[in-house]
């Protein structure tokens, strides 16, 4: 599967989850439901993956944690917030740069229509 195929499947699964569970739940609940759907559909992924930060050739003791990395090709950041703000997009772009992954999806489940909460970011 290429990045676009993965993206399409992820968005479809997120819409299904959003229709079933609705808005207002914790991000971790949506993440758990999505992990279940990915397993059910045979899509490989990793959850809560630490992304190290390298400075001057040295790995710093702190880093970031990506919600989901799908097929080593797409980073998925889930939110359940009132509004996506610029820092959320910058956070995902940073994850993409640090990992070398080209595509990221930022999905805010706290929207009446999930399509309004989907942001696609290319590295």
1-42: pLDDT as tens digits: 899 999 999 999 999 999 999 999 999 999 999 999 999 999
Dihedral sign of CA atoms 87, 66, 14, 73 in order: positive
Sheet arrangement for strand 118-122? 45-55, 58-70, 74-79, 103-108, 118-122
Fold of 3-122: Endonuclease; Chain A (3.40.960)
Summarised one tens digit per residue, pLDDT across range 85-116 is 999 999 999 999 999 999 999 999 999 999 99
8-state DSSP, 73: T
Give me the residue spans of the domains in the chain. Answer: 3-122
Q: What is the pTM of this model?
A: 0.91
């Amino acid at each position: 599967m290429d990045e676009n195929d993965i993206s399409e499947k992820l968005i479809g699964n997120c819409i299904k989850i959003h229709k079933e569970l609705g808005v207002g739940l914790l991000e971790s609940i949506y993440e758990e439901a999505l992990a279940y759907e990915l397993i059910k559909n045979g899509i490989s992924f990793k959850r809560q993956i630490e992304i190290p930060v390298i400075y001057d050739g040295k790995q710093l003791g702190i880093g970031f944690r990506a919600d989901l990395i799908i097929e080593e090709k797409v980073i998925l950041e889930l939110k359940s917030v009132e509004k996506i703000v610029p820092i959320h997009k910058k956070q995902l772009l940073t994850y993409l740069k640090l990992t070398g992954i080209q595509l990221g999806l930022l999905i805010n489940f706290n929207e009446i229509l999930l399509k309004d909460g989907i942001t696609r970011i290319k590295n």
